[in-house]
Amino acid sequence: MASRLAWMGMFGIALLAGLAARGHGAGNRVVMLASTIGPIDAGIVGALEDAFQRRTGIEVRHAGAGTGAALEMAKTGSFDQRRRRLDRPAGAAPRPPPRGPRVRKAPARLGPARRRLPARGRHARADDGAPRGPARSAHGAPRRAVLHLGARALASGLGVSRLEVADLAFGYRGRAVGRNVSFALEGGEVMCLLGPNGGGKTTLFKTVLGLLPALGGTVAIDGESLEGWSRPRVATALGYVPQAQLGLFPFSVREIVLMGRTAHLGAFATPSPRDAAVVEATLHELGIAHLAARPYTEVSGGERQLALVARALVQEARVLVMDEPTASLDFGNQVRVLSRIRALAGIGIAVILSTHDPDQAFACADRVAMLHGGTLAGLGPPDTTITRERLRAVYGVDVDVVELTLSDGRRTRTCVPAVKGR
């Protein structure tokens, strides 16, 4: 027992000496240790005490037996917090720790763009002298409405991104699905991908996202190839809305949407109040806030699709890839999703989506890519790319492309299929 206590005493003294050597011991005057060390080891511990006092200038005294090791440090600062908590009634308000005068480091001589970076010789995010409360935390800033989605990234200077696909070959091991596909998508632009079932649209999207390895060619963001990027880095650049899925576990709709914030969380981190605020704002914007507590497995297919759209939006990626985002949605929800896509483009987000409805391309797209037989059969503005001839080549049906004048005077086009027997 005496030997064990001797080792405890030596460990405690070594720990205190290490703290003092690192600067944590500044201002210490007395260290109180329990006098429970047996006579056999008293000489060893005494020698360590003498070395500790010579090194740190801190006097070591012994309290009565049974008081425990390292009772207190009589100092100003963090190590006497416990003493101040113990010498007042339970439930009493915390006292602010004393703060003596200090000399602040000179600010960094940097331009406006780097003014918030740490100066040389200062810790990153050093105290900027803001007033602090008793809990030593800075007073909160005035609250304001959440700047949502990509708008926050743009406002903070991240800018917009350009997606480049060059000579891409895609498919599966031993079976190519597409080849020689090239296009570029600018920030603030919406591109609509048209093509028949089984034409390779989903496989192309998964290759762009890095979920499938490219069989050839490159995919780049702002001129940098995505090859070798970590999944968290890809997730902060590219958001994905898959086709509607049947959930296996009864997560709530809110929890499904919250999963989109994973790209912004570190290992073992939990979502912050800001993450929750982004989720709630997105649920309200898409009109599914009333579904937030419902199990994802018990809502309709269209409502599940809206939840997946919301999950991609809270990811706050600079490029959104949407695989048939309006599938299974009723007419009203289709219009809402397309309107939201245009709003995202308006704040600089690049969006590429697939659809089976050419009219949606006329409604929201800046450009159209028509995929047929694994290659691009057309690429360009909707008015010049979606033609009767191309629709027949891609879908194998006769379609008339009709120009209309809307009630507000705008002109648009629509596709009218030639249904036989009418």
- Going by pLDDT thresholds of 50, 70 and 90, the confidence category of residue 212 is very high
Q: Please indicate whether residue 374 or residue 146 has the higher confidence score (pLDDT).
A: 374
pLDDT at 312 over 60: yes
Residue 261 CA to its chain's centroid (Å): 5
258-307 tens-digit pLDDT: 999 988 888 888 999 999 999 999 999 888 999 999 999 999 877 888 89
- Determine the Cα–Cα distance for residues 32 and 62; give it in Å rounded to an integer: 6
List Cα–Cα distances, 60 to 4, 26, 65, in angstroms: 20, 15, 15
The vertex-309 CA angle with 158 and 206, nearest 5°, equals 80
The domains found in the chain, sorted by start residue, are 2-86 (no CATH), 163-383 (3.40.50.300)
Most confident of 10-19, 85-94, 133-142: 85-94
Query: Sheet harboring 367-372: ordered strands across?
Result: 238-241, 319-323, 350-355, 190-194, 367-372, 375-380
Least confident of 9-18, 41-50, 174-183: 9-18
Burial class from Cβ neighbours inside 10 Å (0-12, 13-18, 19+) for residue 318 reads: buried
What is the mean predicted confidence (pLDDT) over 216-227?
93
The answer to whether 291 touches 231, Cβ cutoff 8 Å, is no
- Statement: the pTM of the whole predicted model exceeds 0.95: no
- Determine the Cα–Cα distance for residues 314 and 318; give it in Å rounded to an integer: 11
Query: What count of other Cβ atoms lies within 10 Å of the Cβ of residue 228?
Result: 8
27-52 tens-digit pLDDT: 444 444 444 444 444 555 555 556 55
- Determine the Cα–Cα distance for residues 227 and 218; give it in Å rounded to an integer: 8
